[in-house]
Chain A
Amino acid sequence: MLGTPPRTQALSRNSNGLEQFFSSIRGRSALSILDLAGASQSNITFITTLGHRLYSDDVLHTLTGAFGSGKDFLTRQSEGERAEFFLKQSLDFPDDTFDGALVWDTLQFLASPLLQLTVDRLHRILRPGAYLLSFFSADEKAREIAVISYRIQNSMTLQLAPRGETRPAQFFNNRAIERLFQNFSSVKFFLTRDNQREVIVRR
C-alpha cells in the first residue's frame, strides 16, 4: 500500500484535535485508549504515564494484509469476505470497550462500504461520551497523500513521521465527514497549516 518512499523528514506541529482529546480525559485515570497508528515508544510512554491502558495496532499493516498492496487495493475492499477479515483482525472488541480512540488518518484509506462499516464498529466499541480523533487530507487535488506515523510529543504537539505515499480512497469535505460520523453525538473540525482536517468526534 505504501507506494512510494517518504519525501520528507519528520516534523512537529501543534494539534488542536489532540489537545481537545486529552482535555476530554484530563483528571481521569485507568482508561482504555485505542491507538490505530501502530505502536510507538512516544505514544505508549505518553499515554501510560497518564495512567491509562493503551491498545496499539497498525491498521495500515492490517489493511495491506487483508487487501494486498497493488492497484486492486481499493477494489478488493468491496469483497465481503476480505472486509470481514479486516474488521475481525483490527476492531474485534466487545461493545463499549474504549474510553477514547486515536484513529489518526487511517479512515481516508478505506473505500465504501468498508469505510462506514469501520466507523460503525468504532461507534460500537467506544463508550458513550468517549472521544475519537481522526485526520483527513484537506487537499482535494492531491493524487497521493503522505502515509504518516503520528507520535505524541505532549498533549498538544505531534511529531509526523512520513513513511510513504499512497492514493486516498476518496476526498472528504466537511459535509462528507459529518455524514460519516452521523451516529456520533458531535463533530468538531480544525484545519491545520499542513492542509489536514483534524476531527474530534464525541460518541
Chain B
Amino acid sequence: MWNKRKEEEYPVRPAASAVPSAAANPVIQKESIPMSASPMRHPEADFRSAAVIGKSVMIKGQIVSREDLTIDGEVEGTVELQEHRLTIGPHGKVRADIKAREIVVLGNLYGNVDVADKIEIRKDAKLVGDIKTARIVIEDGAYFKGTTDIVRPEPKPAASAPKPAAVQAVPAMASAGSGNATPAAEVKR
C-alpha cells in the first residue's frame, strides 16, 4: 500500500524503478569473477554450506536458490530462497524483491521482503522497502525506511491428534472464557 521511493540524497537523480522486474532482465549477467561457492571470511555470517556472491560480482535478473545464500556483491532483480537463509554481507548492494525463510542484512537493500521466519537488520545496515515477516530484529545504528507487517505463522495442524480429544477440548476452552471458542453445543450435536 505504500509508495515505493528511492532513498537518495539531493539532488534528485533521474527517476528509475527501484526494483526492476525480472521479466525485463531475464538474462543473468556475470562479470569476469564468477560466483564462488567457497566460504567468505566474515565474522558476522554463518556460512554453513552457503553459496556466496562475492563483492566484485554483479548480477541482474532472477536468483532462485535451494541453499543458503550470501550476497556481498551487487544484485538487481528478484531473489527467492523459499526455505533458506539469505545474508546480505557488509559490501552487498541489493535492489530486489526477496522471498526467503530468513534474512540477515549487513549491507544495503532496496526492495520489499517477504520472510517466513525472521529478518535481522544489523548495525550500519540500510533497508528501504516494506517488510512482511513473522519476527524482526533491528539493531541500533541500522537504517530502515518502510512498513513492518508482522504475519503470525499459522499453526500447523497436528497430524496424529485424535479426533475425540479435539471435541473434548471445546467445552474446556469455552469455560476458560475464550471468545473464539466454537459454541460447544453445536459441536456436540
A residues adjacent to B (C-beta < 8 A): 32, 38-41, 44-45, 48-49, 53-58, 61, 65-67, 82, 85, 88-89, 92-94, 97
Q: Other than A41-B136, A45-B136, give 12 A-B pairs with Cβ distance below 8 A.
A: A38-B143, A39-B142, A41-B137, A41-B139, A55-B2, A56-B145, A82-B10, A85-B12, A92-B5, A93-B2, A93-B3, A97-B1
Complex: how many Å from CA A94 to CA B5? 13
A54-B148 contact given A39-B138, A89-B5, CB 8 Å threshold: yes
B10's partner among A41, A66, A93, A97 (CB-CB below 8 A) is A66
Are A65 and B138 touching (Cβ within 8 A)? Answer: no
Interfacial chain B residues near A57, Cβ < 8 Å: 145
When chains A and B are docked, how far (Å) is the Cα of A38 from the Cα of B142?
Answer: 9
A-B contact pairs, 8 of them (CB 8 A): A53-B147, A54-B147, A54-B148, A56-B145, A67-B10, A85-B12, A92-B5, A93-B3
Q: Which 7 pairs across A and B sit closest by C-beta, in order of nearness?
A: A39-B144, A48-B150, A65-B9, A55-B147, A54-B148, A57-B145, A66-B10
Q: How many A-B residue pairs have CB under 8 A?
A: 64
Q: A55-B2, A92-B5, A93-B2 are in contact. Are A44 and B10 (CB under 8 A)?
A: no
Residue of B nearest to A44 (CB): B148
- Contact flag A92-B146 (CB < 8 Å), given A40-B140, A65-B10, A82-B10: no
A154 to B6, CA, bound (A): 33
Interface centre among A55, A58, A65, A93 (most CB of B within 10 A): A55
Q: How far, in Å, is A129 (CB) from chain B's closest CB? A: 19
Return chain A residues, CB-CB under 8 Å to B140: 40-41
Most chain A Cβ neighbours within 10 Å, of B5, B8, B121, B150: B150
Asked if A92 meets B3 with Cβ closer than 8 Å, knowing A44-B136, A44-B138, A85-B10, the reply is yes
- Which residues from 111 to 166 on chain B have a C-beta closer than 8 Å to any C-beta of chain A? 121, 136-140, 142-150
Q: Does B7 contact A (CB under 8 A)?
A: yes
Please name all residues of chain A whose beta carbon is closer than 8 Å to the beta carbon of B1 when the two chains form the complex: 32, 97
Residues of B whose CB lies within 8 Å of any CB of A are: 1-3, 5, 7-12, 121, 136-140, 142-150
A88 to B9, CA, bound (A): 12
Cα(A67)–Cα(B9), bound, Å: 9
Chain A residues within 8 Å of B121, by CB:
39
Contact of A56 among B8, B9, B139, B146 (CB under 8 A): B146
CB contact between A58 and one of B5, B139, B143 (< 8 Å): that residue? B143
CB-defined contacts of A94 to chain B, threshold 8 Å: 3
Q: Smallest CB–CB gap between B60 and chain A, Å?
A: 26
Q: Known interface pairs A40-B140, A44-B136, A89-B5. Does A56 touch B148 (Cβ–Cβ under 8 Å)? A: yes
CA distance A61 to B11 in the complex (A): 15
B10 — which chain A residues lie within 8 A by C-beta? 65-67, 82, 85
Q: Determine how close the nearest CB of chain A comes to the CB of B14; give it in whole angstroms.
A: 14
In this complex, what residue of B is CB-closest to A84? B12
Distance in angstroms between the alpha carbons of A4 and B137 in the assembled complex:
29
Check A61 against B143 for contact (C-beta < 8 Å): yes
